C-alpha cells in the first residue's frame, strides 16, 4: 500500500447541443418535456460530460499506469457503462465545476462534493455513495494550538474558496487562505512551515494524503472530528431524468457490491459506503 501511495504524492486532498423544447400547454407538462429532452440529447450524443479535478487523491487523480482514475472516476465510468453511454472528463478546480454545470459545459461533476442544504437550493444530487466526516491536519507538537473548534479563531486555514470546510473555518473565525487546484504536498508543507495552521477536509482523504507524504511533519488531529457528511454526483437543477437514471445504476452498484469493492481498492480496504460511528464535535 505504501509503494502505491508514493506514486501519487502530487495530488490534492480537490460543446453541448442546444436543448430543444417541445411546447406543450404550460406548467408541469412543459417542465417534464424539457427534462426528457435533456436526457434524449445525452442519449443521442452517447456521452456523459463530467467535471472532476484530477488532483484529489483517491477520488480523482492520475496514475502512471492508468491515467485519470480514482474512486468517483471509476464509479462514474461504471455508471456510464450501465447506461450504455461513454464518459468524457473535463479537469478543473472545484470553483469552476458549478459554473460549468450551469453553463451546460458538463452534465455533472464528481469530486468528493458534499450534499448540503445550500447547494440543494440550486442543484440536484444523486443518492449518496460515500459517507464521511471532517478532520484537521495540524502540526504535531501542539496541534497548531487547536483543541476545539472555537480555537480556530485567528488561525490560518487553507483550501478552495467555496468548499464547506472553508465555510466552517471562517464561521469559527479562521482566516481563509485560498488555493487553486493545488496538490497535497503544497498544503502539507505550508502547515509544516507555518504559512498555514490547519487544513480541514474529509478524514479519509486526509489520512491517505499523510500516509503518502510521511516526510512532511504533520498529523491529523487525534481528538477533533466534525461535520458528518455524504457525497454524491451534482448536476443542474432541471436534470431530473439524468438524476433518476444515475440513481438507478448507483443503487444497483451499492446492492451488488461494486461500490464497496471500489472503496476498498481506493481507500486502503475501508468501506466508505457505510455510515461511520464517531463522536463528533458540536459545530
Strand 156-159 and strand 226-231: the pairing is unpaired
Residue 255 has a pLDDT of: 98
CATH topology agreement for domains 2-129+232-266 and 132-228: yes
Residue 173 has pLDDT above 70, yes or no: yes
- How much of the chain, in percent, has pLDDT values that exceed 90? 74
Q: Would you kindly state where each structural domain of the chain is located, as residue ranges?
A: 2-129+232-266, 132-228
How does pLDDT run across 132-167, given as a tens digit for each residue? 999 999 999 999 999 999 999 999 999 988 888 999
Residue 8 has a pLDDT of: 46
Strand 123-125 and strand 234-236: the pairing is antiparallel
CA distance 126 to 195: 37
Strand 108-109 and strand 47-52: the pairing is parallel
Residue 4 has pLDDT above 50, yes or no: no
The neighbouring-strand residues paired with 47 are 86
Distances (CA, A) of 136 to 12, 100, 149, 259, 268: 15, 30, 10, 26, 20
Element holding 228 (H helix, E strand): strand 226-231
Residue 34 has a pLDDT of: 61
How does pLDDT run across 13-38, given as a tens digit for each residue? 543 333 333 333 445 555 566 666 88
Residue 240 has pLDDT above 90, yes or no: yes
Cis peptide before 58 (omega within 30 of 0): yes
Residue 42 has a pLDDT of: 96
Query: Half-sphere exposure of residue 44, counting CA atoms within 13 Å on the CB side?
Result: 11
Of 139, 131, 180, give the one whose Cα is nearest residue 156: 139
Residue 74 has pLDDT above 70, yes or no: yes
Residue 67 has a pLDDT of: 96
User: Which of helix, strand or coil describes residue 19?
Assistant: coil
CA distance 107 to 47: 10
Distant-in-sequence, close-in-space partners of 169: CB < 8 Å, separation ≥ 6 = 152, 155, 157, 159, 176, 198, 200
- For residue 95, name the pLDDT band (cuts at 50, 70, 90): confident
Of 172, 180, 134, give the one whose Cα is nearest residue 153: 172
Residue 257 has pLDDT above 70, yes or no: yes
CA distance 26 to 251: 33
Residue 25 has a pLDDT of: 43
CATH 2.40.110.10 for the 2-129+232-266 domain, yes or no:
no
Residue pair 254/147 in contact (Cβ under 8 Å)? The answer is no
Name the residue with cell 453553463: 103
More confident: 65 or 81: 81
Strand 234-236 and strand 108-109: the pairing is antiparallel
Mean pLDDT of 61-77: 96
Grid cell, residue 223, equals: 481528538
User: Which of helix, strand or coil describes residue 165?
Assistant: helix
Q: Quickly count: other Cβ atoms within 10 Å of residue 280's Cβ.
A: 13
Residue pair 185/214 in contact (Cβ under 8 Å)? The answer is no
The neighbouring-strand residues paired with 256 are none
Q: How far apart are the first and last CA of the chain?
A: 34
Question: What is the chain's length?
Answer: 283
CA distance 114 to 234: 9
Grid cell, residue 103, equals: 453553463
Grid cell, residue 231, equals: 457525497
More confident: 57 or 113: 113
Give the chain's mean pLDDT: 89
Residue 32 has a pLDDT of: 62
CATH 3.40.190.10 for the 132-228 domain, yes or no:
yes
Residue 90 has pLDDT above 90, yes or no: yes
How does pLDDT run across 175-219, given as a tens digit for each residue? 999 988 788 899 999 999 999 999 999 999 899 889 989 999 999
Amino acid at each position: 500500500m505504501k509503494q502505491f501511495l508514493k506514486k501519487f504524492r502530487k495530488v490534492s486532498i480537490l460543446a453541448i447541443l442546444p436543448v430543444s423544447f417541445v411546447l406543450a400547454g404550460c406548467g408541469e407538462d412543459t417542465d417534464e418535456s424539457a427534462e426528457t429532452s435533456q436526457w434524449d440529447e445525452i442519449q443521442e450524443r452517447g456521452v456523459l460530460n463530467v467535471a472532476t479535478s484530477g488532483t484529489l487523491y483517491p477520488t480523482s487523480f492520475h496514475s502512471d499506469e492508468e491515467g485519470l482514475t480514482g474512486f468517483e472516476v471509476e464509479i462514474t465510468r461504471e455508471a456510464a457503462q450501465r447506461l450504455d453511454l461513454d464518459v468524457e472528463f473535463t479537469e478543473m478546480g472545484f470553483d469552476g465545476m458549478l459554473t460549468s454545470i450551469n453553463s451546460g459545459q458538463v452534465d455533472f461533476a464528481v469530486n468528493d462534493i458534499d450534499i448540503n442544504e445550500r447547494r440543494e437550493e440550486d442543484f440536484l444530487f444523486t443518492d449518496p455513495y460515500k459517507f464521511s466526516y471532517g478532520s484537521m491536519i495540524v502540526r504535531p507538537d501542539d496541534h497548531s494550538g487547536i483543541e476545539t473548534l472555537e480555537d480556530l479563531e485567528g488561525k490560518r486555514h487553507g483550501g478552495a474558496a467555496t468548499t464547506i470546510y472553508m465555510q466552517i473555518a471562517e464561521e469559527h473565525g479562521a482566516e481563509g487562505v485560498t488555493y487553486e487546484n493545488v496538490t497535497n504536498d503544497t498544503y502539507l508543507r505550508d502547515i509544516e512551515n507555518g504559512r498555514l495552521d490547519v487544513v480541514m477536509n474529509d478524514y479519509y482523504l486526509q489520512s491517505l494524503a499523510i500516509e503518502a507524504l510521511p516526510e512532511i511533519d504533520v498529523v491529523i488531529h487525534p481528538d477533533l472530528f466534525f461535520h458528518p457528511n455524504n457525497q454524491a454526483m451534482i448536476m443542474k437543477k432541471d436534470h431530473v431524468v439524468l438524476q433518476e437514471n444515475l440513481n438507478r445504476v448507483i443503487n444497483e452498484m451499492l446492492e451488488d457490491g461494486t461500490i464497496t469493492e471500489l472503496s476498498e481498492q481506493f481507500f486502503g480496504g475501508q468501506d466508505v459506503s457505510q455510515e461511520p460511528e464517531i463522536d463528533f464535535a458540536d459545530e
